[in-house]
């Protein structure tokens, strides 16, 4: 059996602190439009109040570009491979 936990505390009107079993997040916004920031990243949710319709856009965390040292070494090796040395 799976056990879930979620609790939301209103700090001031328009700002909530959300606690769950795995993470903590903060939500800011008004009815129909809100932004959430937490350990899993950022998301923006917009909806039509009273209809049950909403859409959420998850803003992925930016990752650092991969270290291209390996790619440069491979290119250098391939360039030198076609040449014959005498």
Q: What is the per-residue pLDDT across 2-61, written as a single tens digit (0 to 9) for each?
A: 899 999 999 999 999 999 998 999 999 999 999 999 987 899 999 999 999 999 999 876
Structure tokens at 70: 């390996």
- Spell out the alpha helix ranges (H) of the chain: 69-81
Return the ∠ at Cα 21 (arms to 35 and 30), rounded to 5°: 20
- State the pLDDT at residue 29: 96
Predicted pLDDT at 83: 55
Cα–Cα distance for residue pair 68/78, rounded to 1 Å: 15
**pLDDT of res. 40:** 79
Strand-pairing partners, residue 56, are 45
Residue 43 near residue 59, CB atoms below 8 Å: yes
Q: What is the rounded end-to-end Cα distance, in angstroms, of the chain? A: 73
């Amino acid at each position: 059996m799976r056990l879930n936990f979620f609790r939301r505390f209103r700090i001031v009107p328009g700002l909530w602190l959300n606690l769950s079993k795995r993470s903590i997040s903060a939500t800011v916004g008004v009815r129909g439009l809100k932004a959430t920031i937490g350990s899993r990243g950022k998301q923006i949710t917009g909806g039509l109040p009273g209809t049950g319709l909403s859409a959420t856009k998850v803003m992925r965390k930016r990752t650092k570009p991969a270290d291209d040292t390996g790619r440069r070494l491979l290119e250098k090796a391939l360039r030198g491979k076609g040449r014959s040395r005498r």
